[in-house]
Chains A and B, each alone.
Chain A
Amino acid sequence: MIRYLIHTAWAHFRQGPILYLLTVFGVALGVASVMGIQIINRSAVGAFRGSIQAISSNADLSVLGKSGPLPETVLPTVLADPGVESAWPVYRLDAQVSADPPFYLEVYGLDLSAPQLRPWSAESAPGQEDAYDLSDALSKPGWIAVSKRLAERMGWEKGSTFQVSQGTRQAELEVGAMVDFERFSPQSSSKLAVMDIAQAQGLLGRRGRVHQVDVRVFTQGRRGAEGGEPREEAGKEVAQRLEDALGPAVEVLSGKEREDQARDLLGAFRLNLTALSLISLFVGLFLIYSSTQASLVRRRQEFGLLRSLGATRRQLLTVILAEAAWLGVLGVALGLPVGYWVASSNLEVVSSTVTNIYLLSEIESLQFPPWLLALAASIGLGGAVLGAWLPALDMSRQDPKDLLVAYTLHERIAHSALGMAALAVLILAGAGGWYVWLGRGWQPSGFVLGVALLAALPLLSPMLVRLSCGRLPLRGFGWGYSLRALGLDLQKTASAVAALSVAVSMLVGITLMIGSFRKTVEVWMEATIQADIYITTPSWRGRRSEASISPDLVESLRSHPTVKAVDRLRSRQTVSGSNRISIAGVDLHLSGKEERFKLLAGDPKEALQAARQGAALISEPLARRSGLGLGDQLEVTVPTGQVELPIAAVYYDYGSERGAALVDWSTYADLFGPGPPSNLALYLRPGLEAEQVVEQLQEEFAATPLFFRSNRNLRQAALQIFDQTFAVVRLLQGMSLLIAACAITLTLLILARERISELALYRALGAARRQILGIYLGKGLGMAVLGLALGWLGGLALAALLIFVINRAYFGWTVQVYWPWSTLAQETAGILLAAVLAAIYPALRASRTPATELNRDEM
């Protein structure tokens, strides 16, 4: 039978190329959306992994501070452990390079006098091609080794100098070597740079502090011990001992554990993108289903003949599914490059999100490991076979005599519409009941509800089409007639309506969620961003806590004639229980502070009073994640260990899904030691325009690396980051709608082909081509209206799920519901227009049906 398939494949393709191409297209778009997101997800973690491999690949463990840099004194303690073969400190900073455009350099301060610690150090042997010399690293001020790629891009040579800043500190660095880091760590960033640790601390950082201590353990067990043990096991033992020795402010992690941490940090972001890409795949299944069904209907008599000649049901099923699988292979071949394009065209915006929000490494290149190819193949082939399964099963189950007579699928689905609707209600009720009684506490329960919703919508579509179209009174040969005709081909129209409804529900649900979220953030910013001017340093984006503003500058700004008051902010990442949170210290003694925090729990005045005396305010995500509330104690890891702070209030916060805590400036200094701020907020004297003062300050402080933003500009910038975060989502929405529009085109093409006698009758009875054109455009519009109606219902439910269940479970934010009417209206109009456009080609084809076709067959 497979030989028969191969022999007849080309002839079948020539008879109906569009059906085959649409199947391939459905598979390709599904594969592309999933692949695009997987490549992005993989690359986001891969970028972080690249840096770890380039710097710490020879290390088994890294000793890290839970609440920021560690004192150098931890090194002797680490080296004293009997399982430690060697250990070396690492200083890490993000320096902004003054270039056009400016960019961030991931600078690692290392002990370069111990070159065996890194694989790329071996290349420094003189006489070798591409050799470089690390010997000047200590002696030459500002010596830095940059990647070859960056040097080529910037036109740097050995000896080239450039300016960098970290906080308000500036330094001139000199290219001392150009290292091919990528050769040893293919995923490493081109912006990776290495300098001597003492120089990094002295020029741009803090002396006496390190960010991590990399550790290599003995492979043969402990020092002097007999026998060996697996490296990983030995590492675990050493890690445990080191954590015990260094106290609760320190964590000791393997490279894989650090990577898992990064993956966990991006978990919700990645999960949501994956879920959305799977919806696109789901919509693609409808296209495959419709096109396979149409193709099979067309070849019904051929199958009848094959069965009459002795082909078994299994053989028929095999032939049909093999053909679908072959189309799946073509879809995968097309979908892979499209997916890669999706990923590469979104690289920049996702990279911005990863660096701005999650503070991880910038994504420079895309990762495409072989297993992704296997995933693409299984998605494409699986999708094609799954989409074709029902029509194939239906066809193979029929008797030869039934296959040789007129098609009656419409009758069957018309009868099963009620049953399908009942099943949909059952699914929804079951999922709802499960959530209320059992699933509420389970984090992914929102996704289970989403799957139930998206499974129920298609099942409701036959009933909707039947109820809406079946009983319309006949008032003319116009749109009403078109709608009524939709009910006749329930099998096809319901499938197109289902595909569209899923795409529309995704569009409406996400638009409503994003619109509400955006407006909530806007309202929140209105309340919280009350100072006139905000100041930070260009390098603040990376290692926020260390990009500090020098105390002299703070004083000169405080005494500036335009300034009434200055608010300072210091922040850092730390650990609270099992949560990695950000903690900030601000001047809570300034007047008007109580209005600045929108509280979810607690009285503003009392909360501030308590915070001034050492209490903490915690963000809503932290409260939800940790289960803490007003009056509870917040456990915070500080360099000296762990402290507990009373919680005075829970405030709305949309800056970090991981959770944040806020304390008074003085409390922060008590916890983490005194230090300069990383951000300033200026309150201007009455009557001054913030924009004008920004210009004035920019001129006055032109030589200092400072960012001045007016209140308005800061809000705009925040919203820009917000919009960037959702850029990929928009692309996925577009892909789903494209698939759904294809489903409309396909359905109408099938109808034009299968209803050719009916069209010929209209022509014979005097219907003009324009009327037939109108009828088909009307059908397209009708399917769009029905898809929109069902999709809107689904979208509202999906929005509720996203806002009240998924968002709270994964991000912990309270999102107020706002209706982005204008966007929703534009999208609805766009869908209607797209449906009409999708209907034009089939409508034209239908309108060209000659009346002579009437004689061909029975209606």
Chain B
Amino acid sequence: MGKRDGGGRLGAEDGTPVVAFEDVSKIYSSGEGWRTVLKGVWLEVMPGRTVSVVGRSGSGKTTLLNLAAGIDTATRGRVSVDGQDLAGLSDRARTLLRRNTIGMVFQFFHLLSHLSVQENVVLPELIAGGDPQQFKQRAENLLQRVGLDDRSRDNIQKLSGGEMQRVAICRALLRSPRLILADEPTGNLDDDTSQSVMQLMLQLVEEEGSSLIYVTHSRTLADLADESYTIHSGILDAGSPRQDAKGAKL
């Protein structure tokens, strides 16, 4: 069971946030001039917390995740993961940070069709240079928890969309990362499946003790997180902490 500490608010007062955005802006140049995608974003995600970001297409949601993952760099402001300023890290260091600290889930699953279900799950460990055999048990365990243990040898193309995303969640969790970033994880699924996949993901993240930031179009799904923010034209509005089942402010 993951530890839940800190309140659902912008700027935690105790402990180091897993990821922190401090007045972050991202501006892209295009043929027609400059385009500001994120404007002065402040955000802190404490260990074990789940955060959702809701916004329309083009509002800057994916850019926010890319900055958190170190895939992209901020034009202004500071993005830190586990207290490390990403701007000060080399590409290789950011890659290693992503490898060891972050797990990612994508809208289109991004599973490799030439690998089996289990091989897709152990892919991060392959990349990290570990022995995939040692991680088989861990992969099997995760697949069992998402109800796909009997499909581990199947080709990925035999799975339904919901099943594929569950495999992608297992892959993201394989190396027990401190932070999971999910970009529209249910954007390619029907409503019923979306709900069940999201709940499953939240449950697993909670069990693993990881933090989670996910972006979504759906207000309903966004409300499942500890904190939910709205992003509009690159501006992140203040979040709304959620009450847990026991009525405690999380």
**A residues in contact (CB < 8 Å) with B:** 474-477, 481, 484-485, 487-488, 757-758, 761-769, 771, 850-852, 854-855, 858-859
Contacts and interface: CB of A to CB of B under 8 A. Distances in A.
B155 to A, nearest CB: 12
Nearest to B106: A854
A854 B106 CA distance: 9
Given A476-B132, A485-B114, A764 B71 contact: yes
A488 B95 CA distance: 26
Contact of B127 (A484, A762, A769, A850): A762
Given A765-B99, A768-B92, A769-B91, A854 B110 contact: yes
A475 B130 CA distance: 9
7 contacts: A474-B115, A477-B129, A485-B114, A761-B112, A767-B95, A850-B71, A854-B110
A858 B112 CA distance: 11
B69 interface: yes
Interface in B92-114: 92, 95-96, 98-100, 102, 104, 106, 108, 110-114
Contacts of A764: 69, 71, 98, 104, 110
A859 B112 contact: yes
Interface stretch (B8-16, B40-48, B118-126, B195-203): B118-126
A766 B69 CA distance: 10
B124 A765 contact: yes
Given A477-B129, A852-B71, A859 B114 contact: no
Interface string B196-222: 000000000000000000000000000
A761 B98 CA distance: 12
Contact of B129 (A476, A758, A761, A769): A476
A854 B181 CA distance: 14
B223 interface: no
B126 A477 contact: yes
Given A476-B129, A477-B127, A477-B129, A763 B112 contact: no
Q: Please indicate which of the listed interface residues A477, A769, A858 has the most CB atoms of chain B within 10 Å of its own CB.
A: A477
Nearest to A476: B126
B160 to A, nearest CB: 16
B95 A474 contact: no
Interface of B: 62, 66, 69, 71-72, 91-92, 95-96, 98-100, 102, 104, 106, 108, 110-115, 119, 122-124, 126-129, 131-132, 171, 183
A852 B132 contact: no
Given A485-B114, A758-B112, A854-B106, A766 B129 contact: no
Rank and list the top 4 A-B pairs by shortest CB-CB distance, nearest first: A766-B99, A851-B71, A477-B126, A767-B127
Contacts of B92: 768-769
Contacts of B100: 766
B98 to A, nearest CB: 5
Nearest to B188: A858
A768 B171 CA distance: 18
A844 to B, nearest CB: 14
Contact of A766 (B62, B98, B108, B111): B98
Nearest to A771: B127
Nearest to A487: B114
Contacts of B131: 476
B57 to A, nearest CB: 12
A479 to B, nearest CB: 13
B136 to A, nearest CB: 11
Contacts of A762: 127
Contacts of A771: 127
A769 B98 CA distance: 13
Contacts of B126: 474, 476-477, 481
B119 A474 contact: yes
B115 A859 contact: no
Contacts of A766: 95-96, 98-100, 102, 124, 127-128
A345 B108 CA distance: 58
B77 to A, nearest CB: 19
A11 B187 CA distance: 35
Contacts of A476: 126, 129, 131-132
A855 B62 contact: yes
Contact of B110 (A475, A485, A757, A850): A757
A765 B127 contact: yes
Nearest to B133: A475
Nearest to B99: A766
A484 B66 CA distance: 30
A757 B106 CA distance: 12
Contacts of B112: 758, 761, 859
Contacts of B106: 854
A158 to B, nearest CB: 77
Nearest to A857: B108
A765 B104 contact: yes
